[in-house]
Structures are given as structure tokens and as C-alpha cells.
Chains A and B, each alone.
Chain A
Amino acid sequence: MRAWMLLAAALPLAAQVSHERILNAGREPGNWLTYSGNFAGHRFSPLDQINESNVAKLRPVWTFPVNSLQKFEATPLVVDGVMYVSEPPSNVTALDTRTGRPLWRYRRNMPDDLRVCCGQVNRGVAVLGDMVYFGTLDAKMVALDAKTGAVRWETEVIDYKGGYSVTVAPLAVKDKIVIGIAGGEYGIRGFLDAYDAKTGKRAWRFWTVPGPGEPGHETWEGDSWQRGAAGTWVTGAYDPETNLIYWGTGNPGPDWNGEVRKGDNLYSDSIIALDADSGKLKWHFQFTPHDVHDWDATEVPVLVEDEVRGKKRKLVLFPNRNAFYYVLDRVSGEFLLGKAYAKQTWAKGLDDSGKPIRVPGTFPTVEGVKVWPSVAGANNWYSPSYSPKTGLLYVGVREAGSIYYFGEAEYKKGEHYEGGGFRSVPGEEQWGAVRAFKPATGEVVWEHKLFSPPYSGLLSTAGNLVFGATSEGQFYALNATTGKALYRFQTGGLIRSNPMSYLSDGKQYVAMALGNTLYVFGLE
């Protein structure tokens, strides 16, 4: 371990972040170069200075409060001693990791007629070369100079007045910046874009709702495809060997009224595998055909190699919001395994092709119908974590139901287009858990119960730890092998974010947005 620590410390300040560096992120664990820590969506840190024997002595080293009461959902990136963190609504600050002092700040004036369903949030930035990239709530994409915060280029992704916004952290792949779109509650037509990193010129766009003449178009009745939603608001993964980008797609629009969009509604609630150079669809798998419960498949795909039925395969793991755990072959998209991992009442199970066998009477009604999981799902956008050290996948699981309502759906450009609603089940005692799964089988190895459903992601580390946060404001660390709680710290905040880890001056730190403040924990 010492060798790469020295290597990380010896890197020149604000060096160029090449594609090769991100590709080999595991070789420089002192940095955190991409949203999930590596292209495989692992959110794993090979650092082990903080470990099961000393984590009890962890304490906050510095904090950085944001200038907003909006939800603070960002994962910071760290490059050679500088941390880049996005703040609500669409701002970016570069911080000195040694002292927590800002080095520069980018502040953006926002229009007052933004279309955002669920808060003025931003989940983070991407870095490539000497630039920092991020999307804005008014659906622009901005490239900043990593040294100064000066705008190098800015481009419109799409007109925000149509109900579009960007909340996702972009993914830098090769010479392009891949960025998704949000707006599934506004009747948007979703897409995934890639832009030339140097110039900001759009390289490709993949529409997640196929237009006339394209395969899948027949899964939308009439002209409903024009408002079919299927946003792409959570960062995906990339495999250099297949050269495919794996990305989850959101709910079909309108959310709860499926009558106005009969059919399977491709590629909503799916994982899509796109060629990184051309944006062409290689394969897709739809988890929830004709979804009427708002169960976006906007979770982080996790790429692993593991044995399935005696054969080593390249897999993608997907603990879905619809309460089923999926294992697919990521070369071909073949369905290998699917099983419920939380309470669910909407499907009797999955058939051999992975399609759900629906329970009758679970579609929303005007009077309301009780269904598990809840509208927020058994899992959501917050990150799972895979530790190559323990070979386990860690997921924050939500155990709750909702009452789902059917309502009318009349489309007006830029206005809510939901076709119903939801509420919690009166008297239900919701709860949550961190569960550790064997990737290939979905077998639960351990569970750590949480008082209420979590809404924040997990980080596993080579220190045999899993970091996360509760819905009651506590940041915590669990033993990655047993699930035993080893550390907790009460911040009192509403937590909607993911942890990450890095080195500063050769010492390991763990950072997470807790409430409206970024906390950095260490052992000093």
C-alpha cells in the first residue's frame, strides 16, 4: 500500500486527468476521479488507513456548509489535493483538501421558472483533462477551468422550458462527456447525450423513447411517445472491454396514468447499453414494462465478474427500485437472475426472460390502491457499493409501501404531467436496512437494520468498512464482513447523498454531504 501512497503524493498539483487515469482509478486511490470512484460503479475505496480497528476514533476534520437549504446530493471529486463539489442549485466550488478552504467558486444566476420535480439538486461534476464539467437546472452544460473556475465553454442541452433539467453528475469517457436529463414528471422525451470534451459540440444523442420508424416505437400508443419521459438522471457505468456505457432510465410519463400510453413503453425503466463512440444501442433490458408506480430504473449499474451456474461471466448487477434484484450478462444483456429483495406485492415473480408476472389489481385507481414497494422504491438513485475485497454488494434497502392514485393526464408544455399521485400507508411502520448480497445469487449474507428507510448511498473500503448515513441524520460505519456498527456521528441533517474517500497529505479521509454541510472525517 505504501508504494501507491507515495505515488499519489508525488503527483503534480492539478495534473491533467486523462481517460487512462480514470480507467485505472484503482491505481491512485488517493484521488476520486469519477462519480462512483471507478467506471464499474463500485463506489469502493482501496484505502485502508481507516479500518475496523480504528474507525471508532474517527472525527470531523473540516466542514463546508453550502449556501442553500435545498437538498445537498453531490458526491465530491478529488484530484491531486483539490476537491470539486457541486452545490444546489447549479454552483461549483473547488476546495483545498488540506484546509477545507475554497480555492475558487463558480456561481450561476438561475431563471426563476425552473422545472424541477424534486428539489433544486445537483449530484456532482466530472473531470477530464484540465476541465470540470457539470449540468445545470436550466439544462445547460458547463465546462470550467479546473485551476480557476473560469467558464471554458457552455452549451444548451435542451430548452428547460419544456420541463427539462440536469441534476446528474456527468461521466467523462475517452474524449467525451456523457450527460443525462431529468424531467419525468413534465412529459419530457428523454435522452442520453455525449459532448466533445474540448469544444462542447454534441457528439451523439440517444433518445430513450424511440421515434417513428425506430425499433421500440410500437410500444407507445398513438403519439404518447412524444411525452414518454424515461429520464437519465443518475450516472451510469462504462466497461472499456465492451466499450459500452450502461445507463438506467426513468419512469414513463405520465407517472401513474398508464391509460394514455398503452404498451410496454420502451426504453423507460430499463438499462440501456450504448456504444461509447457512436451512442448506438447495443442492447437493452426493461425491468418494469408499462410502469404505473413511478419506479425509475435510475440506479447505479454495478459491473462485476463472477461465476453464474459454473461459468465466469461479465455481469451487471441492478438492485431495482421495483424491489427485484437483477443480474444480467453485460456483453449480451441476457437475463440471468431476478429475485425480490424487499417486501413487494405487485408481481408474483419474474418469468424466464425476466419479465414481471403482475398481480391483478395493483394498478393505481382514483380511490387509491395499496402496493409495496413505495413510490420511492426498495432502492433509489443513491449508490450501492461493491467491495472486491469481500466480494459483496451493499445496498441501502427501503421497506415501505404507498397508496397509489390514478388521475387525469392533460399535457401542457412545461407543466406537471403525472396522472395521479401517492401517499404513505396510514399506520405503516416503515423501516430500512443495509443488506450485503452475494452478487451472482442475490443471497443476503448479513443485514443491518435501520430505524427508517434510508435515502443515502454507501461506500465500502479496503479497511473492511461500509460507510453510509441514516434518515435521522447519523453518519455511520459498519464492519463490511459482519454488518456490525462500529462508528456513528449525529449531524442532525436531512441526508440525501453518497460518501467517498481520498488521501490528503498521505492521510485517508471520508467525505459526505450531510444535511446542508459537506463533512470530512479523518483520524487526526
Chain B
Amino acid sequence: MVVWLALLLFQQQILDLPETERNPYTSAADVAQGKKLFGGRCAGCHGPNGDGGKGANLAVPQLANAGTDRALYRVIRYGIPETEMPGFLMSPREIWQVAAFVRGLGRIEAGPARGDAVRGAELARGKGGCLKCHAVGTEGGRMGPALSDVGAKRSPAHLRNKLLKPESELPDDFRLVQLTAKDGRKISGVRLNEDTWSIQVRDFSDKFHSFWKQDLVETKVEKRTPMPSYQGLMTGEELDNVVAYLTSLRGNR
């Protein structure tokens, strides 16, 4: 009967909060089971070792959204509203076991930071051309996702991979589309929204288009992205600098 995770989770938040403030399941066996559960549900985004991917790096001493055990329990069970982090259906003990594993990650020492964020910022504005399509604060374009808080959401390894292989993971939004209208016009841009009968697109000259699909002869949603690969366009050191800059962008979080 479970129909819609978000609503389901909202429903029971008050009933399901743990009675204890501190994690009662922290034995070696609990951590081992937590690692297994983490592997199935969390590793896809946070990486098998929790040091980040599409999802945040959890191998840090202090988790921004989960300062206390109770807060961490809440994040695992219900997710973080208005972010990509969903909640997960598990028994209270299983949630605590995942929490125990995640807390264990926090004791991994962070490696020395590579790259120079100041030089990275120059590259992002200049040679890299990142800000032509991406915004940081009020500066930059809007053909791609804003980067103002990308450092809080994505790990350095994930960012580096995206710069080298932008097509490795396509987002649901900002999908590249090619439209051919009945009047012969061809429009290429990013998809802002779509439904059964209509589509909304921003083209590469920053112009907004809205179509009823009945007025189109073709709607092609590409399995690629307009973002170029920086493989060969930047040196390894330059890439390190850009990644350092992006990692420093934490928005208002």
C-alpha cells in the first residue's frame, strides 16, 4: 500500500522519532550491518566508503545536517527537504546501524587539499568558461545548474569526474533537447519542464520557448549534455584548482 515515499515519510515523523538521544546500536556487529545497509541504499550517491560522490562527503568530523545522533537518525529516515537526499524505510535498529557506520566514517582523516581555489576561480571565469553557463551567486549564466553551493553537495572526486566525463551521469533537469517545429524552426536548448502535451525550453541565446507538442514534428531529449569535457583542455594542476574552487562554494549552507 506504500504509494509515495515523501508523503509517507512526512506522515509519521512525529510518531517515529527515536526515544533516545544517543545511538543505542554501536557495537562492531552493528557497524558491520550498517555498512551492509549503507552499501545498498547510500553508496550509490555517497560512495561505498562514504567519502562522497553525487552525494555529500560523509567522512568528515562534523556533518552539517546531522550534528547529533537524533538529527542523523532523522536525516536517514526522512531525508533533507528540498535536496536530493531522500528518506529511507528501515527499522529503527537498522537506521541506528547505518548511523553508527556513518559516524565511524567521521574518524577518517581528511587528506591534504589539492589545488588552489583562488586560481581555480580565475580559471572558472576565464579559460574554463564555466560561468558562461553556470551561476555562482548573482554572477554567470543559467544554461546549466547553479554552482553556488556545489561544494556542499558534491565531492571533489565527483566534480573532477564530471569535468572530465560530463556524460557519466545525466541530471533529470537541464536536459539537452532538440525541437523541430511544424513551421520549420529548429530549437536547441535545455529543458525546463515537460508534460504529456507541452515542453518548455531555454535556448542557447537565453531565449525562453514554450510549445504545445502538437505544434512540433519532433521532440528529441538527448542522452548527452552541452557541457564540454575538459580532458586535454586543462592540465592536471588546472583541474585541481577548479575542483578546489568548486569545493569552496558552499552557498548559504
Which residues in A have some Cβ–Cβ distance to B below 8 Å? Answer: 71, 112-113, 115-120, 182, 184-185, 231, 233, 250-251, 255, 294, 296, 298, 365-368, 375-376, 380, 405, 407-410, 415-416, 418-423, 426-427, 449-452, 455, 470, 472-474, 476, 485, 488
CB distance from A411 to the nearest CB of B (A): 10
Closest residue of B by beta carbon distance from A364: B40
CB distance from A151 to the nearest CB of B (A): 27
Contacts A113-B15, A117-B8; is A421 near B88 (CB within 8 Å)? yes
Closest residue of A by beta carbon distance from B97: A408
Contact in complex: B44, A451 (CB < 8 Å): no
Closest residue of B by beta carbon distance from A418: B89
CB distance from A248 to the nearest CB of B (A): 12
Q: Which of A118, A255, A474 has the most CB of B within 10 A?
A: A118
Contacts A71-B7, A113-B15, A451-B196; is A368 near B41 (CB within 8 Å)? yes
Complex: A294 Cα to B4 Cα, angstroms: 13
The 9 closest A-B pairs by CB, nearest first: A421-B89, A472-B195, A367-B40, A368-B40, A451-B196, A184-B1, A118-B3, A451-B195, A119-B7
Given A408-B93, A421-B90, 8 extra CB contacts under 8 A: A115-B15, A118-B2, A118-B11, A119-B4, A367-B36, A380-B3, A416-B12, A423-B5
The 6 listed contacts between A and B (C-beta, < 8 Å) are A119-B11, A251-B1, A368-B41, A407-B37, A421-B41, A450-B196
B16 within 8 A of A: yes
Which residues of the other chain, A, contact B90 by a CB distance below 8 angstroms?
405, 407, 421
Which residues of the other chain, A, contact B170 by a CB distance below 8 angstroms?
427
CB distance from B153 to the nearest CB of A (A): 16
Contact in complex: B1, A233 (CB < 8 Å): yes
Partner of B41, one of A415, A423, A451: A423
Contacts A71-B7, A367-B40, A405-B41; is A117 near B2 (CB within 8 Å)? yes
Contact in complex: B41, A296 (CB < 8 Å): no
Contact in complex: B195, A298 (CB < 8 Å): no
Contact in complex: B194, A294 (CB < 8 Å): no
B39 within 8 A of A: yes
Q: Which of B1, B91, B170 has the most CB of A within 10 A?
A: B1
Contact in complex: B40, A117 (CB < 8 Å): no
Contact in complex: A118, B195 (CB < 8 Å): no
Partner of A367, one of B39, B93, B94, B196: B39
Which residues of the other chain, A, contact B12 by a CB distance below 8 angstroms?
117, 416
Contacts A410-B91, A422-B89, A451-B195; is A416 near B16 (CB within 8 Å)? yes
Which residues of the other chain, A, contact B93 by a CB distance below 8 angstroms?
408, 410
**Residues in B1-29 with C-beta less than 8 Å from chain A:** 1-5, 7-8, 11-12, 14-16
Partner of B197, one of A112, A367, A485: A485
Contact in complex: B1, A449 (CB < 8 Å): no
Complex: A367 Cα to B91 Cα, angstroms: 15
Contact in complex: B196, A449 (CB < 8 Å): yes
Complex: A120 Cα to B94 Cα, angstroms: 27
Partner of A366, one of B8, B37, B91, B197: B37
Complex: A120 Cα to B14 Cα, angstroms: 14
Complex: A255 Cα to B91 Cα, angstroms: 13
Closest residue of B by beta carbon distance from A375: B2
Closest residue of B by beta carbon distance from A255: B2
Contact in complex: A250, B1 (CB < 8 Å): yes
Interface 0/1 of B18-55, CB less than 8 Å to A: 00000000000000000011011100100000000000
Partner of A118, one of B1, B15, B91: B1
Partner of B40, one of A365, A418, A449: A365
Q: Which of A119, A375, A418, A421 has the most CB of B within 10 A?
A: A421
Contact in complex: B1, A422 (CB < 8 Å): no
CB distance from A254 to the nearest CB of B (A): 10
CB distance from A142 to the nearest CB of B (A): 22
Which residues of the other chain, A, contact B14 by a CB distance below 8 angstroms?
112
Contact in complex: A470, B94 (CB < 8 Å): no
B166 within 8 A of A: no
Q: Which of B40, B93, B94 has the most CB of A within 10 A?
A: B40
Contact in complex: A423, B86 (CB < 8 Å): yes
Partner of B8, one of A118, A296, A408, A409: A118
Contact in complex: A366, B40 (CB < 8 Å): yes
Contact in complex: A409, B40 (CB < 8 Å): no
Complex: A407 Cα to B196 Cα, angstroms: 37
Partner of A451, one of B39, B86, B91, B194: B194
Complex: A71 Cα to B2 Cα, angstroms: 14
Which residues of the other chain, A, contact B40 by a CB distance below 8 angstroms?
365-368, 405
Which residues of the other chain, B, contact A426 by a CB distance below 8 angstroms?
44
Which residues of the other chain, B, contact A474 by a CB distance below 8 angstroms?
195-197
Which residues of the other chain, B, contact A112 by a CB distance below 8 angstroms?
14
Contact in complex: A366, B1 (CB < 8 Å): no
Complex: A468 Cα to B5 Cα, angstroms: 23
Closest residue of B by beta carbon distance from A432: B196
Which residues of the other chain, B, contact A366 by a CB distance below 8 angstroms?
36-37, 40
